[in-house]
Amino acid sequence: MTDDIRTDRAEPVGAESALSAACFAAGDGRLRHGAALKFFWGPMDCGKSTMALQMNYNHARQGRRGLVLTRIDRSLGPQITTRIGLAHEAIEVTEELDLCELVRSRWAAGIRVDYLICDEACFYTVPHIEQMAELVDRYDVDVFAFGLASDFRSCLFPAAQRLFELADEVSRIQVEVLCWCGRPGLLNARVVAGTVAREGEQVVIGDTVDEAEVRYQVLCRRHYRNGDLGGNR
Ligand SMILES: [Zn+2]
């Protein structure tokens, strides 16, 4: 974990920190140092979790301290795992978890938090996304969210929609995932017994291995729409 280093974040010192605290206390809404809410999205297998852990590594190397969060990761423990084998402990984002409370409780314990890495953000609730905005605007905490945009029906996840609406920056992850036909993969098809599912629960844990009863496969729009899985039935 990266959150075990105690600092004086709760009691800022120095002119700049004092000014920041004054602005914060005044609540005048002026731009302070420019914390941001950033949303990185892409289909399955495009390297989102790898990028999330890389982002954490980059910021930690600069001496910043953050929390790594996830929800419904492929692994069953509270950690982020990536398909290329990286892993990192993570805080599980439950329905009841308040992200602002989480950060405030760390600060109250003398633990510095400069940023949050939020993996699988598409599975968070809409209130969680509002809390991310609050952390940026009120507490100057950077929030980097990673996730899918759309579900197996090709409709936006509510949390992803809210991120598109509220984020300071939205980036489509460029690592290219291809449909079996060679076109760019865009949509996350749920395959049940060899057929592209068109209705059902929004979140069903599946796998990406071919033999699984419920699995997911990235398709281009054309082959998503006509349900053609190529040779991969
Ligand atoms: Zn295709």
- Cα-to-centroid distance, 225 and ligand 1 (Å): 10
Q: What is the pLDDT of residue 22?
A: 39
Q: Is residue 203 part of an annotated ligand binding site?
A: yes
Q: What is the pLDDT of residue 9?
A: 42
CATH assignment, 15-175: 3.40.50.300
Q: What is the pLDDT of residue 1?
A: 41
Please list the residue range(s) of the chain that carry CATH number 3.40.50.300.
Answer: 15-175
Q: Is the dihedral of CA 49, 38, 182, 215 positive or negative?
A: positive
Q: What is the pLDDT of residue 5?
A: 42
Q: What is the pLDDT of residue 15?
A: 40
Question: Are 198 and 225 spatial neighbours (Cβ–Cβ below 8 Å)?
Answer: no
- Cα-to-centroid distance, 213 and ligand 1 (Å): 22
Q: Is residue 126 part of an annotated ligand binding site?
A: no
Q: What is the pLDDT of residue 226?
A: 96
Q: Is residue 115 part of an annotated ligand binding site?
A: no
Q: Is residue 205 part of an annotated ligand binding site?
A: yes
- Cα-to-centroid distance, 40 and ligand 1 (Å): 23
- Cα-to-centroid distance, 173 and ligand 1 (Å): 19
pLDDT digits (tens, 9 = 90+) for 95-144: 999 999 999 999 999 999 999 999 999 999 999 999 999 999 999 999 99
Distance CA 191, CA 214 (A): 6
Q: Is 70 left (phi over 0), alpha (psi -120 to 50) or beta?
A: beta
Question: pLDDT confidence of 27, banded at 50, 70, 90?
Answer: low
- What percent of the chain has a predicted confidence (pLDDT) above 70? 80
Distance CA 222, CA 141 (A): 41
Distance CA 59, CA 80 (A): 17
- In this model, does residue 233 exceed pLDDT 80? no
User: How much is the mean pLDDT over the chain?
Assistant: 84
- Cα-to-centroid distance, 219 and ligand 1 (Å): 5
- Going by C-alpha positions, the residue among 76, 74, 77, 58 that lies closest to residue 66 is 58
Q: Is residue 216 part of an annotated ligand binding site?
A: yes
Per-chain residues with Cβ under 5 A from ion ligand 1: 179, 181, 183, 220, 223
pLDDT digits (tens, 9 = 90+) for 143-200: 999 999 999 999 999 999 999 999 999 999 876 789 999 999 999 999 998 999 999 9
The residues annotated as belonging to the active site are 120
- What percent of the chain has a predicted confidence (pLDDT) above 90? 64
